[in-house]
Amino acid sequence: MVHSPGRNLLVTAAHCAAPDGVRLDGLVFAPGYRNGLTPHGVWQVTGVTVAPGWEDGQDEDDDVAFLAVAPLDGRQVEDAVGADAFAADLGPGQEVTVTGYPNEDDAPITCRARTSAHGATQQRFDCAGFTNGTSGSPWVTDAGRVIGVIGGYQEGGDTADTSYSVAFDAHVAELYRQATG
């Protein structure tokens, strides 16, 4: 969850919400999911915002998406579970906590690591266990700022030990502005 004026916005990797550049239908969000339980309900995704570079050619530098979700029982998702602030241009060297859901497990894993640059447009962190299924997991600083999501280079990485993200910079900030309408 990232804070937004509508209190209804998620951030993830574009390859999770629009593989091959085509937006998926029927997406849902189940915050707090664990062992088949959905303690905060299941929220319907009503909109997907991805960059043209992702839609037109799956550019790894555009592997980020914002998803709007419908209210559930008269509440916005942010009011139900909270949200972190979207942050751009903080640069590498940030201490982050990343929680993801590997395909082979029905419970989340969490890692705390320091980010580093992977070229001018990508960032990375090293932590074991972030296998398939963890794509789209947010990178959250101690100050509650989301500065990346597992995605980007190699759609997030081809080993369980190193994960990547698009650098949240001005072009991702513009995508966030588009998503918040």
What's the fold here for domain 85-168? Thrombin, subunit H (2.40.10)
Q: Does the structure show a pLDDT above 90 at 155? A: no
What CA–CA distance (Å, rounded) separates 139 from 85?
11
pLDDT at 138: 96
Q: Does the structure show a pLDDT above 90 at 158? A: no
pLDDT at 131: 86
Helical H runs in the chain?
A: 14-17, 52-57, 77-81, 170-179
Q: Does the structure show a pLDDT above 90 at 103? A: no
Q: pTM for this one? A: 0.94
- What percentage of the chain reaches a pLDDT higher than 70? 100
Residues of the chain with CATH 2.40.10.10: 9-82+172-179, 85-168
Structural Rg of the chain based on CA atoms:
15
Highest mean pLDDT among 103-107, 110-114, 152-156: 110-114
pLDDT at 107: 82
What type of residue sits at position 178? Q
135, with CB counted inside 10 A (0-12, 13-18, 19+), is buried
- Domain 9-82+172-179: CATH superfamily, name plus number: Trypsin-like serine proteases (2.40.10.10)
CA atoms 156, 159, 163, 164: torsion sign: negative
pLDDT at 106: 81
Structure token pair of residue 33: 């999911």
Q: Does the structure show a pLDDT above 90 at 104? A: no
Nearest to 139 by CA among 172, 175, 171, 177: 172
Residues 91-113 have a mean pLDDT of 91
Mean pLDDT of all residues belonging to the chain: 95
Residues 167-175 have a mean pLDDT of 97
